[in-house]
Amino acid sequence: MRIDILTLFPEMCERVLDESMIGQARKRELVDIRCHNIRDYTDDKHRRVDDYPYGGGQGMLLKAEPIARCFDAIARQQEQRPLFIYMSPQGEVFRQSIACELSQMPGICILCGHYEGVDQRLLDEYIDRQLSIGDYVLTGGELAALTITDAVTRLLPGVLSEDKSFEDESHYNGLLEYPQYTRPAVWRGREVPEVLTSGHQGKIEQWKREQSLEVTRRLRPDMLDK
Ligand code: ADE
């Protein structure tokens, strides 16, 4: 899968994406992630990406043309047009099912917003989907784009050590994950639940399911309503 990120801060994105499991996935060529500096697609000597809003108002807006040029260049490099995504607090709130959906696509291209926003005509012309990572406002879309890139990349085949290891985790099946324990069997007087050391696989599976339900009921009752 290919993921392109359009940003004013490509080094910031690269730093994050070169670490840990995503960095490993890139090295192993399980995903092709490319960060693009919107400023490289300007045509004036000041490399200007923003301007004042028509009609007045607070702050500056990202101009349409540099972003459009960058989108076009990215699209030309691929057989199939990627899904163009705009990160914005106004977007649909990101969740695991969207991560799964995006991970099935050949390519996604994520625009990070900045300043007070982007010229609406650019959004109307290109954007397929607006996504938010939650009901709060960040200084820019980079952390949001990185969040999505991480959540999508870890679902790609081969990225996790075992292909099935996300099937047990929180949100995969609409429930939170059951509690887990490792050695020692007793730590500061706290014992591992007996069933987990019983060797009885059927009982262990049943316990995990009950605990998942219980944890979800306690921490995120809204998930059970759905
Ligand atoms: N840009 C600023 N805030 C954001 C948010 N909550 N989600 C996505 N992009 C954003």
For ligand 1, whether the C-beta of 145 sits within 6 Å is: no
pLDDT in tens, 78-120: 999 999 999 999 999 999 999 999 999 999 999 999 878 999 9
**CA 121 remoteness from chain centre:** 25
Distances in Å between the Cα of 14 and the Cα atoms of 26, 94, 162 are 11, 22, 26
DSSP letter for each residue of 75-88? HHTSSSPPEEEEEE
Alpha carbon of 130 to ligand 1 centroid (Å): 10
Alpha carbon of 211 to ligand 1 centroid (Å): 33
Give the closest residue to 6 by CA, choosing from 136, 110, 85: 110
The pTM of the full predicted model, rounded to 2 decimals, is: 0.94
Alpha carbon of 104 to ligand 1 centroid (Å): 23
Band the pLDDT of 163: cuts 50, 70, 90.
Answer: low
For ligand 1, whether the C-beta of 133 sits within 6 Å is: yes
For ligand 1, whether the C-beta of 137 sits within 6 Å is: yes
Cα separation, 153 vs 111, in Å, equals 17
Q: In the chain, pLDDT over 70 holds for what percent of residues? A: 99
Beta bridge partners of 93: 132
What per-residue confidence (pLDDT) applies to 208?
A: 97
What per-residue confidence (pLDDT) applies to 173?
A: 84
What per-residue confidence (pLDDT) applies to 164?
A: 59
Q: What is the mean pLDDT of residues 36-46?
A: 97
Alpha carbon of 57 to ligand 1 centroid (Å): 20
For ligand 1, whether the C-beta of 74 sits within 6 Å is: no
Q: Which of 7, 87, 143, 147 has most ligand 1 atoms within 8 Å of its beta carbon, as the pocket-test mutant?
A: 87
Q: Is the pLDDT of residue 42 over 80?
A: yes
Q: Is the pLDDT of residue 167 over 80?
A: no
For ligand 1, whether the C-beta of 144 sits within 6 Å is: yes
User: Peptide bond preceding 53: is omega within 30 degrees of 0, i.e. cis?
Assistant: no
Of ligand 1's listed atoms, the one at least distance from the Cα of 87 is 9
What per-residue confidence (pLDDT) applies to 222?
A: 95
